[in-house]
Every structure is written in C-alpha cells, then in structure tokens.
Amino acid sequence: MQVKLYNTLTKQKSDFVPLQGNEVRMYSCGPTVYSYAHIGNFRTYVFVDTLRRMLEYNGYTLKHVMNITDVGHLESDADEGEDKMEKAARKENKDPYEIAKFYTEAFFKDMDSLHIERPEIIAKATDHIGEMLEFAKKIVENGYGYETSKGIYFDISKLDKYPVLSNRNVEEQIAGARVEVDPEKRNPYDFAIWIKAPENHIMKWDSPWGLSYPGWHLECSAMSQKYLGEVFDIHTGGVDHIPTHHENEIAQSKGACGKIPAKIWMHGEFLLVDGGKMSKSLGNVYTITNLQEKGIEPLAYKLFCYTAHYRTKLNFTFEGAMASQKALNRLRESFLKHQAGNEEIEDSKIAEYKERFLTAINDDLNMPLAMGVVWEAVREEKKSPKIAELLRDCDKVLGLDLANAERYLQAQTQIEIPEEILELLEKRKKAREDKNWELSDQLRDELREKGYIVKDTKEGMTLEKV
Ligand code: AMP
Ligand code: ZN
C-alpha cells in the first residue's frame, strides 16, 4: 500500500518513493547534549521512531543518521549568545567533553526506555570537524561565504531564493526586528558557518581563519552528505527547526553543491505543557525520569504521544499522561487475555483490521486513527490468539513492547503495592485456601478501605487501585 508523507518543502502530502530502490536514506537532527532532554524533545524522537517503524513495516530498509550536537549550538539559533556546551561546562565545573558524554548517555538511556529504535549511524559533531571544515571551505570557494571579525558568514543574497522552507517574509522580519543586526553582516539573515573562538572557548580547532569552531547548522550539512550523499530521501526535526536551522542547512548545501539535500522535510509539532510553552522559569520542563517518579512509564508517554497527529500540537498534563498509563495497562491486559483465549475469529476480520491499521499509518502517520483501530480490536468480545497476533504485528509500528506485557504488569505490581497490602493479600490467599470465606471477605473489605480492589477471576486474583 502506498505511503504518503507531508513535505514541509512542497506543503503537500504526496506519494513516497525512495530515490534508490528499496532503501530509505534519512537524516534526523539529534539532541544538543548540554542537559537532560525533556519530554518535548522526546515527542519529536517518538515521531521519528514511528516514521522509521512505519517504513520498515512497509518493507523498506533504512539508512538513518542522527547527529549528536556537542559543539557550536549557541543559546539562540540565530547565532546569538554563548555555546550551550561551554556554558553548561562552566556551570557544572566540568570539561565540555565530559558534559557531552554524560548527557549523551542519559539521552540514550531514555531513548531505550521509550523503545525508540537506534538510527543506523549516530554521528557526533566533534568527530566530524574535518568534514565540516571542508564543507565550509567549499562554501567560501563558491563565493557564498565571507569573513568578519567574528567568523565566516553565509551570504544569503547569493542564493536564488531564501527562505525556501518557511513562509517567513525576510524583508518584513528585518523591518520589525527587535535585535540589533551585526553591522559586519552583509544581510541581516546571514549566519555563521564558522566561528572564531574567544580566548576562553575550550572547544576550538585550527582553520584557515585561526582557532575556531563550526556553526551549528554546518554539522548537519556535512554529516548528512558524508553518510547519505548530496541528496537523500527524508530529513526530520521539530517545527522550531524550520525557520532557521533547516533553512540554513539548505542554504549551505546549495552553496556547497547547488542542491537541496533532502527531498522530503518532515517536522514534528511542539508539545505544550498545561496549555503553554515549557520553560525553566515556570518549572514545567519535565524529563522522562520526572514522569517515572509520578508513576508514568516511558512507554505510557509514548502511547500519550499517539493521541495526537505529529503535525498538531499536543498538550501534556499529568492527568492525560496518567490516562495513557491506564490505557497501556489495559492494552497489556487485553493482549494477554486474547493470547490465552480460544475463541474463533474469522480471518477476514483480522485482515480488515490490518488493512485499516496500515491505511492509517501510511497516511502520513495518522497514529490517532491507527490507535482507534487497535482499540477496536482490543475490545473484541471473543478472546482469540489471532487478535493477540494482530496486536503484536501492530506493535512493530507502535513500539510498545507488547511481547513483554506480562513482565511490565508484574513489575508494576511489585513496585506499587505497599508491604502492608501485600501482607493482607497473603492472609486472604491463605484464608481462601482454608476455605474461610468469611475471613476472605473481611480482608477484601479491609483492602478496599485501604484503597485496593481485589477481584477473583478465572486467570487468578487481580488487584486494582480504587
Ligand atoms: P535540541 O536538543 O534543543 O536541539 O532539540 C532536540 C529536538 O527536540 C529538536 O528536534 C527540537 O525541534 C525538538 N523540540 C524541542 N522542544 C520541543 C517541544 N516542546 N516539543 C516537541 N519537540 C521539541
Ligand atoms: Zn540539524
């Protein structure tokens, strides 16, 4: 079935056909590793994971590159402020390389807990200084770069068109700009491709322009070209990358080789928290660990992400995430019930569910619709292993680790039940073994008063919070 993807470049949803045979070459802008990634960042990586999985589900093979930004990302995307890595290093009294190592490890720990597939190639900016320098030199040789006292800048007026991705009107923005434009720049939207390092900058390299370091946008241009060639299939990021980072990546590639590097540009919309922007001053910048502390599993957050299409804003609340935690447990329990069931379900019904699921995911990753199909299948009256098999198949795209449903449910029981409740449960088990129904009921009431409902089912005893 045909995959359709929305392309920010053409502002259209169109049929996806890889440039080379069955292989999809894809590049994703990765994290800047100066602090813990927050749940907003992970919404974007969940979107990329779903894209990967959907393409694999459709039989494509992937060559996917993600970068790790460990140098050159200044506080503002428009070349203002300090290098985020150096600032964090000073604050934590550490070497920027130590900072990068620590937060890269933390990032992948969270990625693993979300069951996000690893890209085939993970490329660290500081490992590619040589490639970036060559790229910058080419831009300058081709007449697109010029030197100022601060570094090497890209001259956007040399391009046939700028911007190409965003709708922003450069002239209007210049007129309304609040920040003072660097007088050495030829055009206000010119940006740094190479930055001359101030005395105290730790990360710096020799270059024709003295000790310096690459601008943030350059790493993605140089590394995508190294691993994927001048033109590849898909480039992803968050919507905040559209007006500056991706616009400038495109400018750089056009300056170096005259081509827009990717055919399709896909952008994940932002996660909001309590209806607004996440910000340190509001104290609402949550990490995956913060959610876990409140009893919300990383995979429940992943399921929460599927409640909205990736191109629409999603509002995070703890109530919403808790509802997804409950839904995930319901999904796991139903999966297990279907697995243990022995009722008959027609193959045509399963095929129909499969078809509808595939139609939803192939339609530019319509995950809310895909989940609707999954819930319908889950709620089938008849408990059949065929449904369990169907759910396992859908899970290739959902990445919720349903195969281990039982283990997660058990782990929760172990973590969440206080000692006192466990003792009461043990006493009740003994009472039932002794056929002392009166004591068993008494203990059930006591457990209820303490906030737990015990049910005796065919499969055994279950415990729920009131
Ligand atoms: P950074 O580490 O700041 O470069 O960001 C990593 C990724 O997270 C980028 O693709 C951003 O576009 C994305 N991102 C940042 N904030 C949010 C948010 N609130 N919601 C969704 N994605 C975000
Ligand atoms: Zn990038």
- Structural domain boundaries in the chain: 19-268, 273-413, 419-465
Residue 221 C-alpha to ligand 2 middle, in angstroms? 8
Ligand 1 centre to CA of 2 (Å) is 29
The three-state (H, E, C) secondary structure of 148-176, written as one string:
CCCEEEECHHHCCCCCCCCCCCHHHHHHH
- Ligand 1 mutation pick, 36, 41, 312, max ligand atoms within 8 A of CB: 41
Query: How far is the centre of ligand 1, averaged over its atoms, from the C-alpha of 172 (Å)?
Result: 26
- C-alpha closest to that of 193 among 170, 171, 172, 209: 209
Q: What's the confidence (pLDDT) of residue 177?
A: 57
* Per-residue pLDDT tens over the stretch 205-219: 999 999 999 999 999
Q: What was the pLDDT predicted at 73?
A: 82
The ligand minimizing its distance to the Cα of 246 is 2
The burial of 178, by beta-carbon neighbours within 10 Å (0-12 exposed, 13-18 middle, 19 or more buried), is given as exposed
**What local confidence, expressed as pLDDT, does residue 173 receive?**
59
Beta carbons of 236 and 279 less than 8 angstroms apart: no
Contact between residue 33 and residue 107 where contact means Cβ atoms under 8 Å apart: yes
Identify the residue whose C-alpha is closest to ligand 1 atom 18: 40
In 167-321, beta strands by DSSP E: 191-196, 212-214, 232-238, 262-268, 271-273, 314-316
The predicted pLDDT at position 90 comes to 85
pLDDT tens digits, residue range 340-399? 999 999 999 999 999 999 999 999 999 999 999 999 999 999 999 999 999 999 999 999
* Nearest protein Cα to ligand 1, atom 5: 31
Task: Out of 1.10.730.10, 3.40.50.1980, 1.20.140.10, 2.60.40.790, select the CATH number for domain 273-413.
Answer: 1.10.730.10
Ligand 1: which residues within 6 Å by Cβ? 29, 31-32, 40-41, 43-44, 237-238, 240-241, 268, 270-271, 278
Topology classification of domain 19-268:
Rossmann fold (3.40.50)
Spatial distance between the Cα atoms of 399 and 49, rounded to a whole number of angstroms: 8
Which residue type does 438 have? Answer: E
Low-confidence ranges of the chain (pLDDT < 50): none
Task: Report which ligand 1 atom has the smallest distance to the Cα of 239.
Answer: 12
Q: How far apart are the first and last CA of the chain?
A: 45
Rounded CA separation 285/270 (Å): 13
